[in-house]
Structure 1
Amino acid sequence: MIALFDLDGTLTDPKTGITRSIQYALERLGQPIPAVDDLTWMIGPPLIASFAKLLGGAGDAPEALRLYRERFSDVGLFENEVYAGIPDLLQDLREKDVRLFVATSKPHVYARRILDHFDLSRFLTAIYGSELDNRNADKRDLIRHLVEQERFDPARAVMIGDREHDVFGARANGITAIGVTWGYGSRQELLDAGAACLAEDPQGLEAPILRLTGATPRPAATA
Structure 2
Amino acid sequence: MNTILFDLDGTLIDSSEGIIKCVLYTLDFYGIKEPDTAKLYRFIGPPLSESFERYYGFSHEKAYEAVQKYRERYNTTGIFECKLYPGVEKCIRTLKEQGYRIGMASSKPEVSCKRILEHFGILPLFDDVVGATFDGTRDKKSEILKEVMHRWSHIPKSEMCLIGDTMFDVNGAKELGIACLAVSFGFGDVKEMKEAGVIGVCDSMEELPGMLKK
TM-score, reference length from structure 1: 0.91
Q: Percent identity?
A: 32
Of 170, 174, 192, which residue of structure 2 is paired with 1:167? 170
Instruction: Write the distance in 2 (CA, Å) between the matches of 1:181 and 1:2.
Output: 21
Deviation at 1:27, TM superposition (A): 0.4
Deviation at 1:189, TM superposition (A): 2.4
Alignment partner, residue 184 of structure 2: 181
Of 122, 144, 147, which residue of structure 1 is paired with 2:146? 144
- Counterpart residue identity of residue 203, structure 2: E
Alignment partner, residue 8 of structure 1: 9
Please say which structure displays the higher CA radius of gyration.
1
Deviation at 1:35, TM superposition (A): 3.1
Instruction: Write the distance in 2 (CA, Å) between the matches of 1:207 and 1:193.
Output: 22
Alignment partner, residue 191 of structure 1: 194
Deviation at 1:159, TM superposition (A): 0.3
Of 114, 123, 126, which residue of structure 2 is paired with 1:124? 126
Checking the alignment, whether the CA contact within 8 Å between 1:3 and 1:157 is kept in structure 2 is yes
Q: Which aligned segments of 4 or more residues in structure 1 are displaced greater than 4 angstroms?
A: none
- Counterpart residue identity of residue 19, structure 1: I
Cα deviations by residue, 1:74-95 (Å, 9 ceiling, x for unpaired): 0000000000100000000000
Matched residue SS, 1:39:
helix
Instruction: Write the distance in 1 (CA, Å) between the matches of 2:35 and 2:41.
Output: 10
- Counterpart residue identity of residue 24, structure 2: Q
The 5-angstrom pairing of residues 48-67 of structure 1 reads 48-59=49-60, 60-67=62-69
Instruction: Write the distance in 1 (CA, Å) between the matches of 2:199 and 2:8.
Output: 19
Deviation at 1:13, TM superposition (A): 0.4
Matched residue SS, 2:176:
coil
Alignment partner, residue 202 of structure 1: 205
The 5-angstrom pairing of residues 39-50 of structure 1 reads 39-50=40-51
Structure 2 alignment gaps of length 5 or more: none
Structure 1 alignment gaps of length 5 or more: 212-223
Deviation at 1:129, TM superposition (A): 0.2
Cα deviations by residue, 1:77-120 (Å, 9 ceiling, x for unpaired): 00000001000000000001100001000010111101100112
Deviation at 1:195, TM superposition (A): 1.2
Matched residue SS, 2:201:
strand
Of 133, 136, 146, which residue of structure 1 is paired with 2:135? 133
TM-score, reference length from structure 2: 0.95
